[in-house]
Amino acid sequence: MTFKIEAAHPSLAFNASHFLSFPIAPGVWRAERLHSHDFRFSLVVESLLDETECVVDFDAAMKAAKEVLKRWQYRILVPIRNPNIATREVSEKEFVLVVKETVAVEGANAPTEETVERSITGPKSDFLFLNATNSSTEIIAARLLDEWLRELKDSFGISRESLTSVCVRLEETPGCSAIVSRP
């Protein structure tokens, strides 16, 4: 018989900025404006009971989650595999993110399209790089799940192999969540 625990608490939250970029035709991309969310994190862990007759200690689950989420707080999430994003180091501590986008421009005779660039400059520590094409809530949730599993093992000695499954729910806005699970 397996058991499940759920860790969901208002303290399991972070604020981060992201945008999505989509191809709408060959070579034509649209990008959202950079915007932020107060993401809310929760997880469900399933396994057999351990020698203390627990799935996972709630305190360990919460501490591991808080440690991971702390690293995401107030960061700009950058999907480094997006073909319309370029990054540049300005100095040892400063960084520039450039987003290319094709936009409609009203012309004298007819609307045309042109590629424009938007840039964001800030301290390197403000950016968090994702090995992804977009910084979607689904991708963020998957990365948080992997980081939580690593933190649980590193800080509390609880390995992924001892768990039957783990499910993370990441709420972007009320009623809009991404859910990812790993066996």
Say if residue 14's pLDDT is above 90: yes
pLDDT given at position 183: 87
pLDDT given at position 98: 87
pLDDT range class, residue 168, cuts 50, 70, 90: very high
Cβ atoms of residues 139 and 79 within 8 Å: yes
Burial tier of 173 (Cβ tally within 10 Å: 0-12, 13-18, 19+):
exposed
Q: What is the pLDDT of residues 88-104, one digit of tens each?
A: 888 888 888 888 776 66
pLDDT given at position 132: 95
- CATH code, domain carrying 157: 3.30.479.10
Q: What percent of the chain has pLDDT over 70?
A: 93
pLDDT range class, residue 143, cuts 50, 70, 90: very high
62-78 core/surface letters (b: 16 or more CB in 10 A; e: else): bebbbebbeebeebbbb
Q: Answer whether 0.95 is exceeded by the pTM.
A: no
Instruction: Print the domain residue range for 57.
Output: 3-182
The dihedral built from the CA positions of residue 79, 16, 179 and 146, taken in this order, carries a sign that is positive
How many Å is the Cα radius of gyration of the chain? 20
How many domains does the chain contain in total? 1
pLDDT given at position 84: 84
Contacts of residue 6, defined as CB under 8 A and 6 or more positions apart, other chains included, come to: 42, 43, 44
How far the first Cα of the chain sits from its last, in Å, is: 16
pLDDT given at position 57: 92
Say if residue 166's pLDDT is above 80: yes
